[in-house]
């Protein structure tokens, strides 16, 4: 187990800046998720931490030891690959035991640990099979078992659940998280699935174009997104954004536009702001401090547990609203919605950064 510290990490593939100056500090035993759209550099960051990729610039530390130029074999890490990379010419037991065999553990010790890992992952009855005789989910468990037999300093996982069907994915999600808590191993987990990130990560590092956008708990990411990208990337359906004028009345400030007048909590020191509000923070009934907005229903998605209403605002612009439960709306119907003023986000239209009010 180790702390992981990444300092100004850069990795260029020719002209492509896969990593463009990443700083990250991960606590001992923490479960950190790297989240971001395809091509943002998640895999590259993971591979740089593992040593499989040589970095262009910057440093990687495990605890106080610099490992930047250490080959992967000397880093004492484990990895679960997206393709699992379970060796096809070895039986499951040999696959799981191989990291121990490399490190020259005695035979009975290997056997003991393989048994332990297999039991932990519920694959004891598969030990005599070859990987070709396993399902995707079973192969994934083998890959995880292999990754934990050695008690690595850092466990790296690259989208380990992406090849599983939805049901198994949900099940494995909680199992992996529980397993990590039990082992207490520092884990870095790559995904582009935000639900996976929110449910599994102690902290989430959101990336885009090789740059770290925000690093924080799920709650921080959700409630105080650092910029428009993070705000839009996390949450489903996506946050509504409106570019609005700022007007002041005495000491009070408002964001005005699209038939809305949203009181702000302070002076944004801008002529214009981007106002953001999540669909689930717009209600069909007034409550507490809300701001009424009139809209015309344009399209309704009924998921039974919730209803997603796409509406057009009178001054143009689209507002998406998520109402819990199975509520009926007519398309074309004019109706009133209520924006929760405590949940309004304000961003700088130029830098796209969050404005703290």
Partner 1 sequence: MMVKKILFWFVVFLVAAWFLTPVVFIFLAALTPAQDYYNPHKIFPSHFTLDHLYKLFFVLDGWKATIISIEVALISIAISFAVGLPAGYAMTRYKFPGKNAIRLSILLTRSIPLIVLAVPLMVIYMRFNLADSVMGVALAHTAMILPFVVLITSSIFSGISVEYEEAAMVFGLTRFKAFIRITLPLALPGLAASAIFSFIMSWNEVFVASVLTLSNRTLPAHILNTAMTSPDYFKFAAGMIMAVPAMIFIFFTKKYLVSMWGISLK
Ligand X SMILES: Nc1ncnc2c1ncn2[C@@H]1O[C@H](COP(=O)(O)OP(=O)(O)OP(=O)(O)O)[C@@H](O)[C@H]1O
Beta bridge partners of 18: none
User: For helices 92-102 and 136-148, what crossing angle results, to 10°?
Assistant: 20
Candidates 40-48, 105-113, 141-149, 169-177 — which segment interacts with ligand X by CB under 6 A? Answer: 40-48
Residue 44, contacted partner among ligand X, partner 1, Mg ion, none, CB below 5-8 A by kind: ligand X
73 binds partner 1 (CB under 8 A): yes
Q: How many CB atoms lie within 10 A of CB 167?
A: 9
72 binds partner 1 (CB under 8 A): yes
The H or E element containing residue 180 is: helix 166-183
User: Which C-beta is closer to ligand X: that of 16 or that of 303?
Assistant: 16
d(CA 20, CA 77): 24
The H or E element containing residue 166 is: helix 166-183
Candidates 15-23, 72-80, 119-127, 134-142 — which segment interacts with partner 1 by CB under 8 A? Answer: 72-80
In whole angstroms, the minimum distance from the beta carbon of 84 to partner 1 comes to 8
The H or E element containing residue 173 is: helix 166-183
Contact 185, 148 (CB under 8 A): yes
The β-bridge relationship of strands 240-249 and 16-26 is unpaired
User: Which C-beta is closer to ligand X: that of 173 or that of 208?
Assistant: 208
Pattern of binders to partner 1 over 127-166, x per CB under 8 A? -------------------x---x----------------
Contact 33, 205 (CB under 8 A): yes
In whole angstroms, the minimum distance from the beta carbon of 201 to Mg ion comes to 17
Candidates 31-39, 278-286, 325-333, 340-348 — which segment interacts with ligand X by CB under 6 A? Answer: 31-39
Place of tokens 């801008």: 270
Binding residues for ligand X, per CB under 6 A? 13, 16, 18, 36, 38-44, 192
Binding residues for partner 1, per CB under 8 A? 50, 52, 71-73, 77-79, 81, 83, 85, 87-89, 98-99, 102-103, 146, 150
């Amino acid at each position: 187990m180790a702390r992981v510290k990444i300092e100004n990490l850069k990795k260029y593939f020719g002209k492509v800046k896969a990593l463009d100056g990443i700083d990250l500090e991960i606590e001992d035993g923490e479960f950190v998720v790297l989240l971001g759209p395809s091509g943002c550099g998640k895999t590259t960051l993971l591979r740089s931490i593992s040593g499989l990729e040589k970095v262009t610039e910057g440093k990687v530390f495990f605890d106080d030891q610099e490992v930047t130029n250490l080959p992967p074999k000397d880093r004492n890490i484990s990895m679960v690959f997206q393709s699992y990379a379970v060796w096809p010419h070895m039986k499951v037991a040999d696959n799981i035991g191989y990291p121990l065999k490399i490190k020259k553990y005695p035979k009975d010790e290997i056997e003991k640990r393989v048994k332990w890992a297999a039991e932990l992952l519920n694959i004891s009855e598969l030990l005599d099979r070859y990987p070709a005789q396993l399902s995707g989910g079973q192969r994934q468990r083998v890959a995880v078992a292999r990754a934990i037999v050695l008690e690595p300093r850092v466990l790296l996982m690259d989208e380990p659940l992406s090849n599983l069907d939805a049901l198994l994915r949900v099940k494995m999600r909680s199992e992996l998280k529980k397993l990590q808590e039990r082992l207490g191993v520092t884990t870095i987990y790559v995904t582009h699935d935000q639900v996976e990130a929110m449910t599994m990560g102690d902290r989430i590092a959101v990336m885009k174009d090789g740059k770290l956008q925000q690093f924080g708990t799920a709650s921080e990411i959700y409630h105080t997104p650092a910029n428009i990208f993070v705000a839009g990337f996390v949450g489903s359906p996506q946050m509504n954004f409106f570019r609005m004028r700022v007007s002041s009345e005495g000491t009070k400030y408002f964001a005005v536009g699209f038939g809305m007048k949203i009181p702000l909590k302070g002076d944004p020191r801008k002529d214009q702001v981007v106002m953001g509000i999540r669909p689930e923070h717009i209600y069909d009934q007034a409550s507490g401090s809300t701001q009424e907005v009139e809209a015309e229903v344009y399209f309704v998605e009924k998921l039974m547990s919730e209803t997603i209403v796409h509406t057009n605002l009178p001054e143009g612009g689209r507002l998406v609203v998520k109402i819990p439960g199975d509520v009926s709306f007519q398309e074309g119907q004019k109706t009133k919605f209520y924006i929760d003023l405590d949940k309004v986000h304000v961003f700088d239209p130029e830098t796209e950064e969050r404005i703290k009010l």
